[in-house]
Amino acid sequence: SMLTVDGTEHRRLRSLVAQALTVKRVERLRSGIEALTNASLDRLAALPEGETVDLKAEFAYPLPMNVISDLMGVDAADHPRLKELFEKFFSTQTPPEEVPQMMADLGALFTKIVDDKRANPGDDLTSALIAASEEGDHLTDEEIVNTLQLIIAAGHETTISLVVNVVEALQTHPEQRKRVLSGEVPWENVIEETLRWNTPTSHVLIRFATEDIEVGDKVLPKGEALIVSFGALGRDEKQYGPTAGEFDITRSPNRHIAFGHGPHVCPGAALSRLEAGVALPALYERFPDLDLAVPASELRNKPIVTQNDLYELPVDLG
């Protein structure tokens, strides 16, 4: 997939996806994102008063999964199975002997989706990838399936974590939350600072040095494999100063690489920012007294190498 190749091969696999996810095209999705957000908030409001809610499962998950699935042409009926398989895919607790079957099941599900779209094309990105392969762009079925899997995985997991991480950050920094809810500080600042301070993607696997690289007093030899830690990069004191480890929504400038950099910068960055930018203000407007239902110290992080992800986010809606 586009994640693991460079140069001409990378451009060939990335071009259609990038064209579908430009800032201008993504902005056209705003009304649909607003409708999905309001529907989720209505469901939350209908819950029994005083009931503790897992905000991750009930609010942060449905929005990005529905948005990216609609964009890629994935039927909502496949969502439960996708959720089950991706949870195994991203978890380090999946028993090694179950991994081959899990990967086979994911491949079979996405192959079925591609086959269905080939038989019944629609106005979606999967159909566009299939059409491009038939018109001379020479995408193989394996490349289409892997691209679909990559976009669905990255298009929902990272945004779930972003929404959850923003809520956790605001609830544990009440003075900053007050400034946001009063309108003193824009939501854009909150989202960008969270992307830097508590990035959804903790590590990217795996990159290889294409030449000898000096890092401090060490040399990373050409060909050596490495893991890139976005979590560490976001708190680099050489870049952000002595307050790099602090959450500060007034930080300026606030350049970060939570979505990557260069040719491999995430093509879905604009979509993720839009979803968070719609969902979070709407959540706090509907439930301004929202609060964590447990102490922040009791929130449990999943042991996942690539994702900075909580098991759940229990809240009281107020």
Q: End-to-end CA distance of the chain: give it in Å, rounded.
A: 45
For residue range 233-248, list pLDDT tens digits in order: 999 999 999 999 999 9
When pLDDT is cut at 50, 70 and 90, the band that residue 61 belongs to is: very high
Check pLDDT > 90 for residue 305. Answer: no
| Domain 7-183+268-310 architecture | Orthogonal Bundle (1.10)
89-103, 126-140, 216-230, 272-286: least confidently modelled range: 126-140
Long-range CB pairs of 53-59, under 8 A, 24+ apart, other chains included:
53/293, 53/314, 53/315, 53/316, 53/317, 54/312, 54/313, 54/314, 54/315, 55/164, 55/167, 55/313, 55/314, 55/315, 56/160, 56/164, 56/310, 56/312, 56/313, 57/312, 59/163, 59/279, 59/283
Q: How far apart are CA 82 and CA 22, in angstroms?
A: 26
* Residue 64 pLDDT grade (very low, low, confident, very high; cuts 50, 70, 90): very high
Cis omega (within 30 of 0) for bond into 253: yes
**How far out from the chain centre does Cα 85 lie?**
16
pLDDT band at residue 94 under the 50/70/90 scheme? confident
pLDDT over 80 (residue 135) = no
Digit-coded pLDDT (tens) for 164-177:
999 999 999 999 99
Confidence class for position 93, pLDDT limits 50, 70, 90? confident
In the sheet with 314-316, reading across from the earlier edge strand, the strands are: 53-54, 314-316, 291-292
Is residue 92 pLDDT above 80, yes or no? no
pLDDT at 179 over 90: yes
Domain boundaries, the chain: 7-183+268-310
Give the whole-angstrom CA distance, residue 79 versus residue 62: 9
State the pLDDT at residue 197.
97
228: which strand partners? 204
Confidence of residue 296 (pLDDT cuts 50, 70, 90): very high
pLDDT exceeds 90 at position 115 = yes
pTM: 0.91
Check pLDDT > 90 for residue 91.
no
pLDDT at 271 over 90: yes
